[in-house]
Amino acid sequence: MDEYLQWLDSLPKASGALKAIQLRGRESLKRLGLPNQAIEEWRLSDIAHLKKIIQYPYVKELNQIFDEENPIKSLVDNKIQIIIDSQDIHKESINLPKGIRHLNQSELEQSLGHSIEKCSFMDNWTVAMNHAATMEVLGLKVEGKNLPLIEIVIPSQRDSFIPTRVIIFVEENAELELTQIIQGSQNSVHSHVIEVHLGQEAKVNHGLLAFGEMNSSLMANIAIEQNARSNYSLTTVQEGWLFSRLEPRVVQIEGQAHTNIKGLQISKGKDQIATHSLVRFDGPEGTLDQLQKAAAADHSHCIFNGSIEVPRIAQKTNANQLSRNLLLSSNARIDTKPELEIVADDVRCAHGATVSQLEEEQIFYLRSRGIEDDQAAALIFKGYCQEILNCLPQNKDKTQIMQKLLRGMRK
């Protein structure tokens, strides 16, 4: 605990819109203390690892880890790339297209934290940690349609703690395609929080690609607030982190909106990769389509916890959730826990979960056509991932992503 407080005190102080938030974050952290396994949502987490990572020093300077050959660096047509780090968001260096602009100071002060509160993230430890540490925020306002894809890249630094914060305000009727890429490096610790506010009839297609490296860690919170008749799609991919905890939360504040969540998490070695999602319908006639896939190899551990809350007001909600898991090694572990809380009576909710290995029958079928065992398994595994990758926003070269996912995977 002492180390924890010392570390807290070592964090630099923010100014402007973030000042108040930072103060609240630090107070929350002190009040909450370190998570422990007696708390249900942390029960399966590697707490020892958490204790280690809070000792990493605050990031000094972010290295551009993207070299010339890295395809992510090269701009695809009709794409705006924003590279952020905790120090400097290169605000001036980005030429934003018409229809997208930076939030000004007073807009930031007004909107920052709104969706966080709606998503009941106020007492969330990883959010508090991010708020306690963040020095800068990228705030965007989206007002048009047919805009180029926005790609937000969050690079890395070895042996450092890297907090980043984003807020995007999507106005009524506006449409946005958004990709986030979070890159880990050796012993790096990422803390990321993004809020997206969707006005009525707004449409957002959001992809989040999080690729770790040796011993890297990620804690990310996604807070989405949806107004009526808006349409939000989220596709997340987590791979390569020793410790990763992703918490997407969506609240349909008036119902009558559509939410689509697709997730893929792949763990290898001694990784622990977790997704804790929550969708709440605070109004009637909302819909949800959720598919979470996880694959655990070697000595790794995949966790999925998926809550759906349908309060009394949310009549005629239609929610579907499916958790599909592949257990690829007898030393690996899968935990999956859907949670449905329904108070309205006129609703349709279905959820399902499966845990299995790769289908023997499928592998046999491919082998009977002359394909080797390993190759057959790889093909089927690729198919398993492809279903999620297909949902990512346009303009992403998916073969690159697939190669990353397949690295180190053996039958």
- Contact between 373 and another protein per CB under 8 A: no
Pick one of 214, 353, 402, 406: the residue that binds another protein (CB under 8 A).
353
Single residue of 173, 231, 329, 362 touching another protein by CB under 8 A:
329
377 is a contact residue toward another protein (CB under 8 A): no
Angle between the N-to-C axes of helices 17-32 and 2-10, in degrees from 0 to 180, rounded to the nearest 10: 170
Q: Which is nearer to another protein, 102 or 333 (CB)?
A: 333
Is 347 a binding residue for another protein by CB under 8 A? The answer is yes
To the nearest whole angstrom, how small is the minimum distance from the Cβ of residue 44 to another protein? 9
| Residue 237 burial by Cβ neighbours in a 10 Å radius (0-12, 13-18, 19+) | buried
**Residue with smaller CB distance to another protein, 73 or 337:** 337
336 binds another protein (CB under 8 A): yes
Rounded distance, CA 73 to CA 320, Å? 37
| Closest to 128 in 3D by CA, of 117, 136, 142, 138 | 117
Assess 104 for contact with another protein (CB under 8 A).
no
Q: 58 pairs with which residues across the strands?
A: 161
**In this complex, which beta carbon is closest to another protein, that of residue 69 or of residue 346?**
346
* CB neighbour burial string for 196-234, b if at least 16 within 10 angstroms, e if fewer: bbbbebbbbbbbbbbbbbebbbbbbbbbbbbbbbbbbbb
Q: Could you say which of 113, 139, 212, 338 contacts another protein (CB under 8 A)?
A: 338
Strand partners, 178: 150, 206
392: tokens are 């990512």
Cα 279 to chain centroid distance, Å, stands at 14
Question: At 322, which amino acid appears?
Answer: L
DSSP SS3 for 89: coil
CB nearer another protein, residue 319 or residue 385: 319
Q: Which of residues 265-324 bind another protein (CB under 8 A)?
A: 312, 315
Residue 349 binds to another protein (criterion: CB under 8 A)? yes
Least CB distance to another protein at residue 289 (A): 15
369 is an interface residue for another protein by CB under 8 A: no
Q: Give the residue among 269, 207, 216 at the shortest CA–CA distance from 237.
A: 207
Cβ distance to another protein smaller for residue 344 or 379: 344
Show the binding pattern over residues 212-251: x = contacts another protein (CB under 8 A), - = does not.
----------------------------------------
User: Among residues 101 and 333, whose Cβ is nearest to another protein?
Assistant: 333
User: Beta 100-102 vs 138-142: how paired, if at all?
Assistant: antiparallel
Taking CB under 8 A as the criterion, the residue among 15, 93, 106, 330 binding another protein is: 330
Tell me the window of 168-176, 194-202, 348-356, 388-396 that interacts with another protein (CB under 8 A): 348-356
Burial of 313 by CB count in 10 Å (0-12 exposed, 13-18 middle, 19+ buried)?
middle
CA dihedral 62, 63, 69, 70 (to 10 degrees): -30
Q: Is the Cβ of residue 15 or residue 330 nearer to another protein in the bound state? A: 330
The single residue among 70, 97, 343, 372 that binds another protein, judged by CB under 8 A, is 343
DSSP three-state, residue 203: strand
How many angstroms separate the CA atoms of 259 and 226, rounded?
A: 9
- Residue 231's SS3 state is strand
In terms of CB distance, is 329 or 362 closer to another protein?
A: 329
- 351 contacts another protein (rule: CB under 8 A): yes
Positions of E strands within 318-394: 318-327, 333-342, 348-356
Q: Which of 114, 158, 337, 382 binds another protein (CB under 8 A)?
A: 337
Contact between 39 and another protein per CB under 8 A:
no
| Interface segment toward another protein; rule CB under 8 A; list 256-264, 281-289, 327-335, 372-380 | 327-335
Count residues near another protein (CB under 8 A): 35
Stretch that binds another protein, among 140-148, 184-192, 271-279, 347-355 (CB under 8 A): 347-355
Which single residue is written with the structure tokens 């929080």?
193
Among 333, 367, 382, 404, binds another protein (CB under 8 A): 333
According to DSSP, the residues that pair with 179 across neighbouring strands are 151, 207
**Options 328, 376, 392, 405; binder of another protein; rule CB under 8 A:** 328
* Residue 361 lies near another protein (rule: CB under 8 A): no
Token pair 């987490």: residue:
45
**Interface residue list for another protein (CB under 8 A):** 40, 312, 315, 325, 327-357
